[in-house]
Amino acid sequence: MVHQLMFDPENHERIHAVENSFGPWGKPLSQPGRVLIGQGHLKKQSRRGPQPKVFFLFNDVLVYGSVILRGHWYKNQQIIPLEDIQLEDLEDSVRMKNQWLIRTPRKSFYVAAASHEEKQMWMEHVEDCRFRLLQSGGRTPGSTFAVTWIPDQAAASCMRCSDKFTVTQRRHHCRKCGFVVCSSCSKMRAVVGHIHPTKRMRVCGVCHQGLLGAETEPQGMTRPEEQGTGSDEEGVEEFSEEEEAEEQLEDHYPSSWTDPQMDLWSTYVYFKPEHGKPQKTSPSDIN
Longest dimension (CA), the chain: 60
Query: Can you tell me the distance from the alpha carbon of 274 to that of 4, in angstroms, rounded to the nearest whole number?
Result: 10
In degrees and rounded to multiples of 5, residue 131 shows phi and psi of -60, -45
- Judged against a pLDDT cut of 60, whether residue 215 lies above it is answered with no
Rounded-to-5 percentages of helix, strand, coil across the chain: 35, 25, 40
Q: Across residues 208-214, what is the average pLDDT?
A: 78
- Judged against a pLDDT cut of 90, whether residue 194 lies above it is answered with no
Q: What is the residue-averaged pLDDT of the chain?
A: 77
Task: Choose the most confident range, by mean pLDDT, from 1-15, 37-51, 73-87, 223-237.
Answer: 73-87
Residue 211 confidence (pLDDT): 83
Residue 229: CB partners within 8 Å, gap ≥ 6? none
Which stretches does DSSP call E strand in the chain?
Answer: 36-46, 49-58, 61-69, 73-81, 86-89, 99-103, 109-112, 172-173, 180-181, 188-191, 200-203, 221-222, 269-270
Band (205; pLDDT cuts 50, 70, 90): very high
Instruction: Provide the residue ranges of all domains of the chain, joining segments of one domain with +.
Output: 2-145+243-279, 152-238
- Based on its alpha-carbon atoms, the radius of gyration of the chain, rounded to whole angstroms, reads 20
Please give the DSSP secondary-structure letter assigned to residue 9. Answer: H
- The number of residues making up the chain comes to 287
DSSP SS3 for 61: strand
Band (199; pLDDT cuts 50, 70, 90): confident
- Judged against a pLDDT cut of 60, whether residue 259 lies above it is answered with no
- Judged against a pLDDT cut of 90, whether residue 249 lies above it is answered with no
Q: Are 218 and 242 in contact (CB under 8 A)?
A: no
Q: Are 190 and 224 in contact (CB under 8 A)?
A: no
Strands lying side by side in the sheet with 188-191: 200-203, 188-191, 221-222
CA-to-CA separations, 80 to 62, 170, 188, 225, in angstroms, rounded = 5, 30, 29, 36
CATH H superfamily, domain 152-238: Zinc/RING finger domain, C3HC4 (zinc finger) (3.30.40.10)
- Judged against a pLDDT cut of 90, whether residue 67 lies above it is answered with no
Query: Can you tell me the distance from the alpha carbon of 170 to that of 104, in angstroms, rounded to the nearest whole number?
Result: 27
In CATH, the architecture of 2-145+243-279 is Roll (2.30)
Residue 163 confidence (pLDDT): 93
- Judged against a pLDDT cut of 90, whether residue 89 lies above it is answered with yes
Query: Can you tell me the distance from the alpha carbon of 66 to that of 250, in angstroms, rounded to the nearest whole number?
Result: 9
- Judged against a pLDDT cut of 60, whether residue 213 lies above it is answered with yes
Query: Can you tell me the distance from the alpha carbon of 227 to that of 274, in angstroms, rounded to the nearest whole number?
Result: 55
Q: Which residues pair with 184 in a beta bridge?
A: none
Residue 111 confidence (pLDDT): 94
Query: Can you tell me the distance from the alpha carbon of 57 to that of 34, in angstroms, rounded to the nearest whole number?
Result: 10
